[in-house]
Amino acid sequence: MLPIVRGLTGVLVLTLACSAAAQQPIIYPAKGQSASRQQTDTAECQLWAKQTTGVDPVVLAQQGATQSGAPQPQGQLLRGAAGGAALGAAVGAVAGDAGKGAAIGAITGTAAGGLRARRTQENAAAQTQASQQQISQALNTYNRAVAACMTGRGYTVQ
């Protein structure tokens, strides 16, 4: 598997794991609370959790969506080839064969551009992974606060 694909697959697996870890708690009305009472209690506990933890799940969801749509860097292969060809032509001109030097420079520049592109993509994937972990931890804190509030109101929370 290509390193880039492997890195992106790792980010996808981690994102799915973070999503599973930050799931909302399951709440059961243990004292016979009505559905409307449970909705009211849930809304009040969610507001309390937001105020207490400083975590807003809507804002976190927007941050996660923004980061997953980040543009990928492009053009590094072409810039590497052009730069390598120019440098190779200059070196080749001094040595007596500018065309051969340009060809060797273009190949070398393309390879270097490819390495830069891969490093850039790996760095972006690592940043996305770290951000997803932070979002997951914040959601987990928020959900624990909601669960504590609902437990305090007589619900069973899992």
> For the residues 2-7, what does the mean pLDDT come to?
50
Q: Pick the most confident of 17-26, 58-67, 128-137.
A: 128-137
| Domain ranges for the chain | 3-68+75-157
Give the helix/strand (H/E) hosting 19: helix 3-21
Q: Please write the tens of the pLDDT for every residue from 35-65.
A: 999 999 999 999 999 999 999 999 998 887 8
pLDDT bucket at 5, cuts 50 / 70 / 90:
very low
pLDDT, tens digit, 9 for 90 and up, residues 78-107: 666 666 666 665 565 566 666 776 677 777
CB-based contact 74:102 (threshold 8 Å): no
Mean pLDDT of 117-141: 91
Return the pLDDT at 71: 53
- pTM here? 0.58
Runs of H (alpha helix) within 22-97: 35-53, 57-68, 76-95
Handedness of CA 120, 121, 122, 126 (dihedral sign): positive
Average pLDDT over residues 123-140: 92
